[in-house]
Structure 1
């Protein structure tokens, strides 16, 4: 009697592994594009809130989606969908102007239609000064990823035989009561005294918290960011998930623990 039972072809272990990896890649792509994405801090422009070596999660849904929500800016999303305007004071990740072509993180200070001006280091929003209160100096130990050169010679100090960087620190308070800390290292006319900026429709004005060491909306590209189009905004900073002082070595796993800045993990915005 003929055997009418059909047997399923046996899939090889290699093909099963490939299928699994393909599914995993699709899931990761969806998560990174539309839910959460990791971001690392490469510069000191957002001191004191963000240090070089911080790693954080960025939520992708807050302000809508555009081509810059996708890896490498794949142009699959026309314009911006489900869009909304960031709240003043939000720390956002956005795509820099084409001449720079990389992701950047800054704080939103001005919204469409508003005016911004710097006068003697104070931000004027729609003609009114944002209160700026001097508080205790910001100090950070000198490490591999924040050395004396990055700190600047005038700000290097020694406490208990440990070299640190010490910057003047201030607290700014936005209309509505939201506040955050900023650094103001010195009087620099091109940064502390500017013309009047009028933010165009569909754009925001961003600044780094380290005011004297940030290329932001005060300057056109490539020196800064200029006005940031809303469709370039990729997401909102949510929480630090790791931080390292730069002393870790890949081939020495035990240094991953000693180099971690554990107290920074879990800090929100």
Structure 2
């Protein structure tokens, strides 16, 4: 063996020492950085608490945030506007303020927390766990919670619902069908091939015939009762709309807008609503694409019944039922 040349045993031993030293460095205790806890908890609560070693606080935060979401939803239903007192922007700013508070709290805990050893990759997975539970639970509640909210994106339901109104409903987003709707109800429904849910009023049910005769709704061969209440200026039309109260055969009353008798959908031939389906119409009769254009809607596609307006630019309308 040549002088000065390390043998295989020496190389193996040296490599083993370096490996143990590297492993020791990885597992060495590291201080909890307060600014990391702040950022984590502000954006992804309660990861910051887990990072700071406050596991009881992390678990309590998950429970309180979930319970608070449910309570806020029911409070909004019972006492509109509830969390929407300042509209959607208010909800967003409130969430940002809560995130800032949680971040500062985690930062304060991290400052006095003892150092923690362990592989960073394993610790990261451990820290993410409570946030993952919270995230999945929120997704499930958003999809299957009984009283979701929607924002009106058009004026097709004026004067009952206006563009920008926030409404709360009975019926989960992901569980359409079996909403228990009836003629006169304003419902959220889906159409195959349409991304956004639609909102219209049911004017007739299975087995009933529906027609339009010079802008007058005809159900089962009889014109529905209606009378003028005045006229309104609408922001998206140059002419004034006549406001009428309309009464369906089952006694349900609602208000509609009408612009005359010569619009494209003011005269529609009689059709019979199929079994297990509903005939939908917008209250803004001359500014709505409804069952007059796409036909009756199957009950399996009716997702929810609208309960109340929980936010509107016109504060006097908050809390109204449609």
Name the TM-score, length of structure 1 as normaliser.
Answer: 0.68
1:40 corresponds to 2:134: no
Relative to structure 1, is the Cα distance of residues 102 and 45 closer, same or farther in structure 2, using a 3 angstrom cutoff?
Answer: same
1:228 corresponds to 2:302: no
Q: Which has the higher helix share?
A: 2
- Give RMSD over aligned pairs: 2.4
Relative to structure 1, is the Cα distance of residues 85 and 113 closer, same or farther in structure 2, using a 3 angstrom cutoff?
Answer: farther
Aligned equivalent of 1:241: 310
Aligned equivalent of 2:265: 191
- Equivalent position SS for 1:266: coil
Given that residues 263 and 286 in structure 2 are in contact (C-alpha distance below 8 angstroms), is that contact kept between their aligned partners in structure 1?
Answer: no
- For 1:16 and 1:175, the matched residues in 2 are separated by 60
Aligned equivalent of 1:23: 134
1:232 positional shift: 0.7
- For 1:54 and 1:240, the matched residues in 2 are separated by 7
- Equivalent position SS for 1:191: coil
- For 2:143 and 2:319, the matched residues in 1 are separated by 20
1:51 corresponds to 2:162: yes
Paired positions, count: 202
Relative to structure 1, is the Cα distance of residues 123 and 23 closer, same or farther in structure 2, using a 3 angstrom cutoff?
Answer: same
- Equivalent position SS for 1:190: coil
Q: Which runs of 5+ in 1 are unaligned?
A: 1-9, 62-68, 71-76, 141-145, 156-165, 221-225, 245-260
Which of residues 211, 216, 227 is equivalent to 1:133?
227
1:137 positional shift: 1.5
Aligned equivalent of 1:6: none
Following TM superposition, the consecutive aligned residue runs of length 4 or more in structure 1 with deviations greater than 6 angstroms are none
Relative to structure 1, is the Cα distance of residues 188 and 29 closer, same or farther in structure 2, using a 3 angstrom cutoff?
Answer: farther
Aligned equivalent of 2:206: 112
1:19 positional shift: 1.1
Relative to structure 1, is the Cα distance of residues 85 and 267 closer, same or farther in structure 2, using a 3 angstrom cutoff?
Answer: closer
1:1-269 alignment runs, 5 A limit: 11-13=50-52, 15=126, 19-20=130-131, 22-23=133-134, 25-27=136-138, 29-30=140-141, 32-60=143-171, 69-70=173-174, 80=177, 83=178, 85-98=180-193, 100-139=194-233, 146=235, 150-151=236-237, 153=238, 155=239, 166-220=240-294, 226-244=295-313, 261-269=314-322
- Equivalent position SS for 2:292: coil
1:86 positional shift: 1.5
- Equivalent position SS for 1:26: helix
Larger Rg computed on CA atoms: 2
- For 2:127 and 2:154, the matched residues in 1 are separated by 42
Q: Which runs of 5+ in 2 are unaligned?
A: 1-48, 53-123
Q: Which has the higher strand share?
A: 1
- For 2:320 and 2:151, the matched residues in 1 are separated by 14
